Amino acid sequence: MPVAVPAHLDPAESWDRATLEAFQLTQLRKQMSRLSQDSDYYAPLLRRLGWDVSELRSLADLARLPFTYKNNYVASLAAQPPLGGFMAVPRSEVQRIHFSSGTTTIPTPQFWTGTDLERWAQLYARHAHSQGIGADDIVQCLFSYTWFVGGLGATAGYQRTGAMVIPAGSQDTERQIHTLFTYGTTVLCGTPSFITHLAEEVRKRGLDPAASSVRTIMVGGEPGASIPATRARIEALWGARCYDAYGCLEFQPIAGECSAQDGLHLAEDFAYAEVVNADTGIAVKDGTPGVLVLTHLDKQAGPLVRWWTGDIVVRDQTPCHCGRTHARLKGGVRGRADDMLVIRGVNVFPSAVEELVRRTPGLGDEYQLVLDRSVRDAAGFMKSLHLRVEQIDTAADAQQLATQLAQEIKKVLSVTAKIDVLPLGTLTRFTHKAKRVVTEE
């Protein structure tokens, strides 16, 4: 199918590589000289290392600096409560603070100045525009508006494209459906789990989501549109095109998918990206999975240097059909370095299991990976998978569905799996971030 090529919103999106890299180096030098003066965290660190900005002769020189990990950030908050040592601007210049969801540590804050908020909206608008969103669109935003970055960031970005935004949030399914059909929503953005759940609820009311006016869906916050079977399922349910987006609390946004739907363009004029081996920290070749490490090029409040995202990505710098030159993350976020299960030496990401579950006819979208005694050997190492799934086709034979999925997992992932096929609706639904791996001892 030929892909329409929308004009780019920002000339930076199609700079040639040399122009882009020269820009990155200039920005990086400016940022690092500022941080070596103004950052309570980086200034003493750089002094201790005897590092001076004159050492930054090329982009590759940045790799001589240490990574910044989440635990460095948390320790800094403990040492200088409640704001920590990363702010790097006077408190009076900070206009917004958001918090992490606190799933692994206490909720941590991040900061934005007025300029940072403008930049965020502009970058978000760029991604939305590359998906053909504009003034005729009505965006129903299903990201949460409280604490976390989702809802407010998306709203500012879509408004910048000229679209009308309904700040719907991630609750109240009944009202969401009513609004969607009453106002003729054309764009949905939210987590893939909530958008799938919403389609199920629309169907339960005897309506067809594909008959709604929704034509574009942008998902983020968890793996989704980059898993082919999940994308196909969402697109079929809604009769719409589904795009993936990637950001985190510390970097908003990181990358977004264009109309070519062939990987997510990194915002390379906003963040300098490295992809490194999870164990050695050394850069990997493009095309090889590695941990994404990001450095803010122009963020004023709370800038980070060599931030260890923990997300596994595969980078591709070859030109995209859309004409944009910024490198793409092929297959989106492949998993978390710390979510990766190692089973008899084989690396298995929950997203790879998700692809196989959703490809199996007769099974629903939900699944759960159970870490219990049955999956471990005597030494405590993982030897197999234990998976809970739901049966959507009540006429099918549950045992047969289990066997079929186990065979696929064996064939594709080379690991054995015990499958529990449960009635539809048994597993917990998540409206924000789905928790796919549960530990039961």
Question: Which residues contact Zn ion by CB under 5 A?
Answer: 258, 260, 320, 322, 324
What are the phi and psi torsion angles at 273 (to 5°)? -110, 135
CA quadruple 275, 277, 282, 283: dihedral, nearest 10: -30
Instruction: Report how many helices (DSSP H) and strands (DSSP E) the chain contains, helices first.
Output: 10, 21
Give least dist CB 255 to Zn ion, A.
Answer: 11
Decide: residue 320, CB within 10 A, 0-12 exposed, 13-18 middle, 19+ buried: buried
- Nearest to Zn ion of 151, 263 (CB atom): 263
Decide: residue 193, CB within 10 A, 0-12 exposed, 13-18 middle, 19+ buried: buried
Residue 263's DSSP bridge partners are none
Give least dist CB 137 to Zn ion, A.
Answer: 20
- Nearest to Zn ion of 258, 305 (CB atom): 258
Q: Please, what sign has the CA dihedral across residues 287, 291, 295, 301?
A: positive
Q: How far is CA 287 from the centre of its chain?
A: 19
User: Considering just the CA atoms, what is the radius of gyration of the chain in Å?
Assistant: 22
Give least dist CB 316 to Zn ion, A.
Answer: 11
Give least dist CB 335 to Zn ion, A.
Answer: 23
- Nearest to Zn ion of 260, 382 (CB atom): 260
CA–CA distance, 128 with 131 (Å, rounded to integer): 5
Give least dist CB 77 to Zn ion, A.
Answer: 38
Map tokens 């990637």 to a residue: 246
State the maximum Cα–Cα separation within the chain, in Å, rounded to a whole number. Answer: 70
Give least dist CB 131 to Zn ion, A.
Answer: 10
Give least dist CB 192 to Zn ion, A.
Answer: 21
Decide: residue 154, CB within 10 A, 0-12 exposed, 13-18 middle, 19+ buried: buried
Q: Are strands 363-371 and 346-348 parallel, antiparallel or unpaired?
A: unpaired
Residue 420's DSSP bridge partners are 388
- Nearest to Zn ion of 127, 358 (CB atom): 127
Nearest Cα neighbor of 111 from 279, 251, 283 is: 251
Give least dist CB 7 to Zn ion, A.
Answer: 13
CA–CA distance, 26 with 288 (Å, rounded to integer): 28
Give least dist CB 325 to Zn ion, A.
Answer: 9
- Nearest to Zn ion of 15, 73 (CB atom): 15
- Nearest to Zn ion of 17, 30 (CB atom): 17
- Nearest to Zn ion of 116, 257 (CB atom): 257
- Nearest to Zn ion of 166, 322 (CB atom): 322
- Nearest to Zn ion of 180, 320 (CB atom): 320
